[in-house]
């Protein structure tokens, strides 16, 4: 029996970001700073819903599609803050909705007694963000001119196999850090 | 290949309602507080 595929809609991405913002109001260790975002980025984020579905039709690959959400949410920077965190939660939600088990992470409920795993895990996320920052600079040069539909172009399809270092790094992060093979 | 390493279970038939979706988002975010702090 063919398995149904569930996609994320724009509202879901906004809800993830709002929930992170609300968490920051209740938890002083979580920071969320409201910043101005380019209107063009917000507009393009609205296309992610239909583009991701079309991308899946071309690739038939849930992991690539999860990468599509993660990479584009981060590159567009259409949310006032927490774009990386929103992208990671979105990818995790998308994988879970489509039947894939993802790793459980630390809730940090006992910050005074952090385990070595807690520290390694935090470093892994910080490393991801730092590394990705330099890759984004290399691939997109951080100019406003890149904030156009080009960002949402399809990578790793039959028509386009050109390498995008940001996309590739996000894909490896999903495979190695988010998915749970057990 | 990927299915062997990462077995896919049957996804739910229907989409979440908005309430279910928010509950699931809350659960994930609560369980990833470490990441929320690390990337702040």
How many domains in chain B?
Answer: 1
Nearest CA in chain B to A109: B33
Helix (H) or strand (E) holding A28: none
pTM of the model: 0.91
In this structure, of A21-25, A82-86, A115-119, A169-173, the range with the lowest mean pLDDT score is: A115-119
Confirm whether B10 is domain-assigned: no
Confirm whether B19 is domain-assigned: yes
pLDDT value of position A159:
65
C-alpha distance from A154 to closest chain B C-alpha (Å): 21
pLDDT 10s digits, A97-126? 999 999 988 777 666 677 777 888 889 999
φ/ψ bin of A116: left (φ > 0), alpha (ψ from -120 to 50), beta (otherwise): alpha
Helices (H), chain A: 10-26, 39-45, 48-59, 62-76, 83-97, 116-140, 165-173
Distance, CA of A86 to CA of A113 (rounded, Å): 27
* Per-chain mean pLDDT for chain A: 89
Percent of chain A topping pLDDT 70: 90
Q: Which domain holds residue B34?
A: 15-40
Confirm whether B37 is domain-assigned: yes
| Per-residue confidence band for B1, with pLDDT thresholds at 50, 70 and 90 | very low
pLDDT 10s digits, A67-94? 999 999 999 999 999 999 999 999 999 9
List the single best residue of A8, A9, A16 to mutate versus B (max B Cβ within 10 A).
A16
Confirm whether B28 is domain-assigned: yes
């Amino acid at each position: 029996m063919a398995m149904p595929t569930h996609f994320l809609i724009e509202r879901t991405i906004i809800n993830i970001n709002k929930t992170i913002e609300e968490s920051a109001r209740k938890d002083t260790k979580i920071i969320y700073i409201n910043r101005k975002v380019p209107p063009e980025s917000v507009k393009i984020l609205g296309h992610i819903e239909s583009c991701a579905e079309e991308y899946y039709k071309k690739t038939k690959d849930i992991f690539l599609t999860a990468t599509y959400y993660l990479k584009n949410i981060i590159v567009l920077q259409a949310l006032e803050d927490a774009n990386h965190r929103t992208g990671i939660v979105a990818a995790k939600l998308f994988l879970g909705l489509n039947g894939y088990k993802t790793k459980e992470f630390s809730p940090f409920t006992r910050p005074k007694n952090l385990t070595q795993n807690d520290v390694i895990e935090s470093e892994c996320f910080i490393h991801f963000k730092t590394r990705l920052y330099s890759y984004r600079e290399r691939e997109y040069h951080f100019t406003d001119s890149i904030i156009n539909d080009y960002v949402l172009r399809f990578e790793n399809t039959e028509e386009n196999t050109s390498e995008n270092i940001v996309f590739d790094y996000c894909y490896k992060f999903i495979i190695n850090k988010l998915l749970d093979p057990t | 290949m990927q299915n062997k390493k990462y077995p896919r279970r049957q996804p739910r038939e229907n989409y979440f309602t908005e309430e279910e979706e928010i509950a699931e988002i809350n659960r994930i975010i609560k369980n990833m507080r470490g990441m929320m702090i690390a990337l702040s």
